[in-house]
Chain A
Amino acid sequence: EAGVVQSPRYKIIEKKQPVAFWCNPISGHNTLYWYLQNLGQGPELLIRYENEEAVDDSQLPKDRFSAERLKGVDSTLKIQPAELGDSAVYLCASTVWGARRNNQPQHFGDGTRLSIL
C-alpha cells in the first residue's frame, strides 16, 4: 500500500513569493490534515478535511494561507505571499474517519521543507 505522498520535498523561495504544496493521501482515507512543524517542535494542525469539506480550519492563517481538496482525494496548500516566519516543514497526514475514531492513527507523508530567503 502506498503511503502519503507529498511534493516537493524541498522548496526555497524568496519572501513575498507564492508557494504551493501538494499531497496525495493513502487510498481510501477520507480525512486529510495539513500540519506545520517548526524546528524542534511537534506538528501543529493547520486544516482538516473530511472528504472535500474543510471541517476545521481554525488554525489556518487565512490572510495568506489557502487550501483545497476539490475531489476529496489529493490536496494543495498555498501560501501567498510567503513571509520569513513561514520557514518550516509542512506535513500532510491522512486517516480513515469512522465509528472507532480514537484508535485510528494518522499516517504522515515525508513533508515539504520550506525555506524563505
Chain B
Amino acid sequence: AQKITQTQPGMFVQEKEAVTLDCTYDTSDQSYGLFWYKQPSSGEMIFLIYQGSYDEQNATEGRYSLNFQKARKSANLVISASQLGDSAMYFCAMRERMNDYKLSFGAGTTVTVRA
C-alpha cells in the first residue's frame, strides 16, 4: 500500500503568489514524522520542513508552512510569495517508528513558477 500520496504531478504558480502542495499519508503508527524536500533540476534533495505526529502547532520555516490535519492524515505544504527559484520537484516523506524509522517518499509534485 502506498504510504505517501501526492496527487498533483505538476503545478504552475504565478510569481509572488502562494501555492499549496497536497500530501496524504497512511499509517497506523502513533509516532511518526513528516518531511518535505525540494529537488531542483540540479538533483540535490533539500530538506524544507518537518512536522511530528505529536506536534500541536503547524510547522513553519520562513516562506514554508505545513498544514497538518492529523485526523485527515494530510500534511500539505504551503509556499508563500513564490519565487522563480522555487521551481523544482517537491517530495513529501514520512518516517514511522514501527517501520524502523525508514523514510518513505511520495512520487513528488513538480512546481513551475511563472514570472
Q: How large is the interface on A (under 10, 10 to 19, 20 to 34, 35 or more residues)?
A: 20 to 34
List the A residue with the shortest CB-CB distance to B91: A42
List the B residue with the shortest CB-CB distance to A113: B43
Please report the total number of B residues contacting A with Cβ < 8 Å: 27
Which of A43, A56, A105: most chain B CB closer than 10 A? Answer: A105
Specify which of B32, B45, B100 is in contact with A108 (CB 8 Å cutoff). B45
A110 touches B100 (CB 8 A): no
* Given A41-B107, A42-B91, A42-B105: A103 in contact with B43 (beta carbons within 8 A): no
Count of A-B residue pairs with CB < 8 Å: 57
Specify which of A91, A93, A101 is in contact with B97 (CB 8 Å cutoff). A101
A103 touches B50 (CB 8 A): yes
B56 to chain A, nearest CB (A): 14
Specify which of B45, B50, B52 is in contact with A93 (CB 8 Å cutoff). B45
Name 13 interchain pairs, CB-CB below 8 A, sorted by A: A40-B107, A40-B108, A42-B93, A42-B106, A45-B102, A56-B100, A101-B101, A105-B35, A106-B103, A108-B37, A108-B44, A110-B43, A110-B44
